[in-house]
Amino acid sequence: MPKIIAMAGKGGTGKTTTTALLTKYLLAKKETPFLLVDADANANLNELLNLDVGLTLGQIRKELKGELPAHITRDQFMEMKIHQALIEETGYDLLVMGQPDGPGCYCAANQHLAMTMDKLADNYKYIIVDNEAGMEHLSRMNLRSIDYLLVTSDPSARGILTAKRISEITEPLGLQIKEQYLIVNRAPQPIPPALQEKIDEAVTDTGMKLGGIIPSSDTLINQELSGESYVSLDDSAKVIQTVNAIFDKIFA
């Protein structure tokens, strides 16, 4: 069975950036193949990897509501479409969940995401899920057992508080988390004492360990603006060395 890595955190804290950087890390470590799942309705992981999305699970769900081709079951149709939706790259695949069925309704799309993971799981070493803001939907995605929960925060008191709350609600949601880590993104250097105090408090009061602190980086900003894949970032860049040390600590 693959190891499950789930990203969580409030919107705008760098979950997708962290996922893209983890993609580069796992490829460099040859921890392949792995599956990336962009489970955010506002999907943009593909943009950080410079990949085009042709078909999403949300679109497949809409097709399932219509008339199916003759002599094919819904399960067979779903499996065929899932393979069409997979974006296959060297070392990893990407599956994009896309928009839900309707306003505020993620249940059907999440159900098909769960079915997809069950069918595909044996093909991968890791499944990495880049979630939307919040946590409740994880309990509907057949991800009740998570090997690594990486909770991201921006360098703000509100971001750290949200990360703390996310960690605290995993048990009521029935999620089995083996390891939880807090990652603080876009942090100023040096770390202000008040921010460090909030980080220490969140780690002390929850089951999270401090994975690490990623400094604010012009390298990442410029890479995103250029439209180039994060996978092609220079290994000698200071931010990449910092990120690699964080992931070495978490996944050693």
Residues 104-156: tens digit of each pLDDT:
555 655 666 677 677 788 899 999 999 876 655 565 555 668 999 999 999 99
Contact 34, 26 (CB under 8 A): yes
Predicted pLDDT at 104? 53
The answer, yes or no, to whether residue 86 has pLDDT greater than 90, is yes
Global confidence as pTM: 0.92
Q: Which residues contact 51 (CB under 8 A, 6 or more apart)?
A: 87, 89, 94, 229
Evaluate whether 163 touches 202 at the Cβ level (below 8 Å).
Answer: yes
Residue 6: closest CA among 134, 101, 120: 134
DSSP states of 175-227: -EEEEEEEEEEEE-SSPPHHHHHHHHHHHHHSSEEEEEEEEP-HHHHHHHHHT
Q: According to CATH, what is the number of the domain 3-251?
A: 3.40.50.300
CB of 89 closer than 8 Å to CB of 20 = no
SS3 54: coil
Residue 104 CA, distance from chain mean position: 20
User: What is the per-residue pLDDT for 48?
Assistant: 97
pLDDT of res. 135: 59
pLDDT, tens only, 187-218: 999 999 999 999 999 999 998 999 999 999 99
Q: What is the pLDDT of residue 52?
A: 96
> Which residue, 158, 179, 124, is CA-closest to 6?
179
Closest C-alpha to 251, from 89, 13, 36, 29 = 29
The string of pLDDT tens digits covering residues 5-63 is 999 998 889 999 999 999 999 999 999 999 999 988 778 999 999 999 999 988 887 88
Residue 141, pLDDT score: 54
162-176 per-position pLDDT tens digit? 999 989 888 777 778
Question: Tokens 């220490």 sit at which residue?
Answer: 200
Q: Are 130 and 40 in contact (CB under 8 A)?
A: yes
